[in-house]
Amino acid sequence: MAGVWEEALVEEAIYLIAHLAQAEQHLMEIEGETKVEDLIPMIDELRNKRKMVGDILFSALKIEGTAEKEEFRSKLESLWCSLKHLAMALVHCDETTEKLIRRLECHLQSGEGQKAQELSKRIKELYEVRQSIRNFIKMLLFDVSKKLTSAPQVRCREDLCIME
């Protein structure tokens, strides 16, 4: 049962990290286009919340170590950054699939069977991509993380631009 609990925890935490990162990115886009500087503290707060979720996830999975001063990204920073990007890729894969499913429904309603069949094949391929992303996340958290010897706090270089 513990394995199922950990897998469910990972899945929810990964989606939480991805959605926080997506919200952060959307606010950065708005700030970049409008120069509304009031958004900068909100962006920093979302980034801090995302990092907090990462810390909680790593703590729950007992992925830990000591902080080291390194010129380049540490092993855990690289793990964290990979997980953040895989989480965002998972969400984008889901959103892409949803959009293709809506297009598939349109083809079916308009009697375009050949187009619907081709799109159905592509949707199945996206489901395979999604499963691969999930497998990569599980492998990183349950296998690769156990092989790391250096583990400072959860962040990547892009997260260093905020005040701590």
CA distance 75 to 144: 10
Q: What is the pLDDT of residues 70-79, one digit of tens each?
A: 555 677 778 8
pLDDT at 80: 87
> What local confidence, expressed as pLDDT, does residue 160 receive?
44
Name the DSSP letter for residue 73: -
Lookup: tokens for 32: 């970049």
Q: What is the DSSP letter of 158?
A: G
Mean pLDDT score, 153-160 = 52
pLDDT value of residue 78:
81
The backbone region for 35, taken as left when phi is positive above 0, alpha when psi lies in -120 to 50, beta otherwise, is: left
What percent of the chain is predicted at pLDDT more than 70?
82
Backbone torsion region of residue 120, taken as left when φ is above 0, otherwise alpha when ψ lies between -120 and 50, otherwise beta: alpha
Q: What is the DSSP letter of 72?
A: S
Give 135's pLDDT tier (boundaries 50, 70, 90): very high
Q: pLDDT by residue (tens digit) across 27-45? A: 999 988 888 788 889 999 9
What local confidence, expressed as pLDDT, does residue 159 receive? 55
- Residue 69: is its pLDDT beyond 80? no
pLDDT tens per residue, range 86-102: 999 999 999 999 999 99
Structure tokens at 65: 């170590």
Domain boundaries along the sequence of the chain = 2-161
| Helices and strands (H and E) in the chain: how many | 4, 0
For residue 130, the model assigns a pLDDT of 95
Choose between 50 and 147: higher pLDDT.
50
Residue 5 above 90 pLDDT? no
* % of the chain residues with pLDDT over 90: 54
